[in-house]
Amino acid sequence: MYPDVTVQEVELLNRFNLLSAEGKKELNDYLRYLLLKQYRAELYSQVLGNPLLHNGLMQAVRMCESENVELEEIVHKIRQVKQIYYQLLEKVFLKYAEAVDELYLYDSLRDWGRIGFEQVADAANKDCKEDILRELEEMLHNYRKLAVNRGDRRRIVAV
C-alpha cells in the first residue's frame, strides 16, 4: 500500500469520509483556520523572533556608530543580514505555499524588508555613515514594532 501513510492518518480519512457534506466543509474550514494560525506563528517566530536577524541589524548599527569601521564592512554586514532575512522568509513561504491561500503576511513582511534594505542601500550609495545609521535605526524600529504588534494581537484575540 502506501508506506508513508500512518495508521492515524488512515483513521482520520475514514472518519472524514463518514462526515456529511456540511461536516466536511466545516472541518476543511477549521483546518484552513488552524493552518493559517500556525503559518502566522511560524512566520513571526522565524523572522521577527529570530535573534540572528535582530543581532545582525544591531551589529550594523554599532558598526555605523564606530569611527574605525570602513563603509565596505558595513555594506557587507548589511548584505549578510539581508540574505539571512530572505532565507528565513523563503523557508517559511515554501513550507506553506501550497497549503495556505492567504499569504498576505508573507507579502507584507517581504515588502517591509525590501523597502528597508533598499533605503539602506540608497544611503550606502551616498557613502554617508550617518544616512546608513538613520535608515538602519528606522528599519530596526519598524522591526521591533512589528514584533511587538504580534504580541498585542495575541492578547486582543485571547480576550
pLDDT, tens only, 37-61 = 898 888 888 888 889 999 999 999 9
Question: pLDDT tens digit string along 7-33?
Answer: 898 898 899 889 899 999 999 999 888
Element (H, E) at 84: helix 71-96
Q: How do the domains of the chain map onto residue ranges?
A: 7-158
Residue pair 103/97 in contact by the 8 Å Cβ criterion:
yes
CA distances from 159 to 40, 81, 150 (A): 19, 36, 15
- Mean pLDDT is highest, among 3-12, 29-38, 95-104, for 29-38
Question: Would you say residue 148 has pLDDT above 90?
Answer: no
Burial 23-40 (b: 16+ CB within 10 A, else e): eeeeeeeeeeeeebeebb
Q: Residue 112 corresponds to which cell in the numbers above?
A: 517591509
Which DSSP category does 36 fall into? H
How far, in Å, CA of 138 to CA of 122, rounded?
14
Please state which architecture CATH assigns to domain 7-158.
Answer: Up-down Bundle (1.20)
Task: With beta carbons less than 8 A apart as the criterion, state whether 46 and 91 touch.
Answer: yes
Question: Which band of pLDDT confidence, cut at 50, 70 and 90, is reported for residue 154?
Answer: very low
